């Protein structure tokens, strides 16, 4: 068989599966489920590198395969998928199309640049995409493309507060994201504690979106009626 098959790429594949599933839901008009899938893809991506590094006996070809497959999946999960979500969320105008095309292009450039740096790292020519400061804090060259899996769910949760300004905020978020993808500045790499906080925040956002989705579809009516019935008996 072509390719490499071991546990180091399972989370990367799960990220892609989640994004493709989210695309299907988005095409069907279920944007909340699409955002849920985007957040799940981000969660899988947050740990795929840690899992891969636990395998100490990887060959050079396996490492290179992991780098390539990670970037290819990221391009779909955090490049193409957010573009589709935003298109169905109000950016379906000529201006929105222009911004989304540039966003996807910037994401692709960033991922290709990351691959070059990782290849140099494997050849002992460069320190990779991650910079380590004298104080031990680690930084990325610019903002990782996976950051969109945090930004978009939070924006969608606040959409009721934004009201008619939601599409404008969405345009601004995507413009800022594409600029930060390709701007060479030090973007702090989250520590374990910071990553935990981010995951909790996104999880709360996802749960809220899921509850709102279920309420709109009246899926939540049955358990709510049951709880009301139980409460009435207890009183």
* 1 part of a folded domain: no
Q: Which tens digit of pLDDT belongs to each residue from 35-63?
A: 999 999 998 888 877 777 777 777 777 77
**What distance in Å separates the CA atoms of residue 89 and residue 98, rounded to the nearest whole number?**
15
Domain of 50? Answer: 7-234
d(CA 46, CA 144): 11
The answer, yes or no, to whether residue 172 has pLDDT greater than 90, is: yes
pLDDT at 122: 64
Q: Considering the domain boundaries, does residue 107 fall inside one?
A: yes
Instruction: Give the pLDDT confidence score for residue 97 in this predicted structure.
Output: 96
Going from the C-alpha of 138 to that of each of 2, 132, 135, 197, the distances in angstroms are 35, 4, 9, 18
Mean pLDDT over 158-163 rounds to 86
State the pLDDT at residue 117.
80
Question: Would you state the pLDDT for residue 72?
Answer: 92
Examine residue 2 and state whether it is found in any structural domain, yes or no: no
What six digits make up the tokens of 223? 């358990």
pLDDT of residue 132: 61
Question: What's the pLDDT band for 235 if we cut at 50, 70, 90?
Answer: low
CATH number at residue 140: 1.20.120
The per-residue pLDDT for 202 is 84
Taking the model in full, what pTM does it have? 0.82
Q: How far is CA 5 from the centre of its chain?
A: 24
For residue 188, what pLDDT band results from cuts at 50, 70 and 90?
confident
The predicted structure's pLDDT at residue 8: 78
pLDDT for 198 equals 85
pLDDT over threshold 90, residue 85: yes
Least reliable range by pLDDT among 2-16, 79-93, 126-140: 126-140
Measured CA to CA in angstroms, residue 45 lies from 10, 136, 164, 174, 191 at distances of: 10, 23, 33, 20, 15
Domain count, the chain: 1
Of the listed ranges 13-22, 143-152, 218-227, the one predicted with least confidence: 218-227
* 79 domain-assigned: yes
pLDDT in tens, 89-147: 989 999 999 999 999 999 999 999 888 887 776 665 454 566 665 666 677 888 999 99
């Amino acid at each position: 068989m072509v390719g490499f098959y071991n546990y180091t790429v399972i989370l990367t594949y799960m990220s892609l599966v989640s994004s493709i599933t989210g695309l299907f839901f988005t095409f069907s008009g279920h944007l909340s489920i699409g955002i849920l899938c985007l957040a799940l893809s981000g969660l899988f991506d947050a740990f795929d590198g840690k899992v891969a590094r636990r395998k100490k006996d990887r060959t050079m070809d396996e490492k290179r395969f992991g780098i390539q497959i990670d970037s290819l999946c990221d391009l779909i999960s955090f490049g193409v998928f957010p573009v589709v979500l935003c298109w169905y969320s109000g950016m379906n105008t000529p201006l929105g199309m222009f911004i989304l095309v540039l966003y996807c292009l910037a994401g692709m450039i960033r991922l290709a640049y990351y691959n070059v740096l990782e290849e140099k790292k494997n050849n002992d020519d460069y320190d990779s995409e991650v910079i380590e400061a004298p104080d031990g804090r680690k930084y990325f060259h610019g903002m990782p493309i996976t950051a969109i899996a945090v930004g978009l769910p939070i924006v969608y949760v606040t959409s009721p507060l934004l009201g008619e300004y939601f599409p404008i905020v969405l345009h601004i978020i995507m413009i800022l994201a594409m600029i930060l993808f390709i701007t060479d500045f030090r973007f702090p790499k989250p520590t374990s504690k910071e990553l935990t906080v981010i995951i909790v925040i996104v999880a709360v956002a996802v749960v809220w979106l899921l509850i709102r989705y279920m309420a709109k579809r009246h899926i939540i009516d049955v358990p709510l009626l049951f709880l009301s019935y139980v409460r009435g008996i207890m009183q």
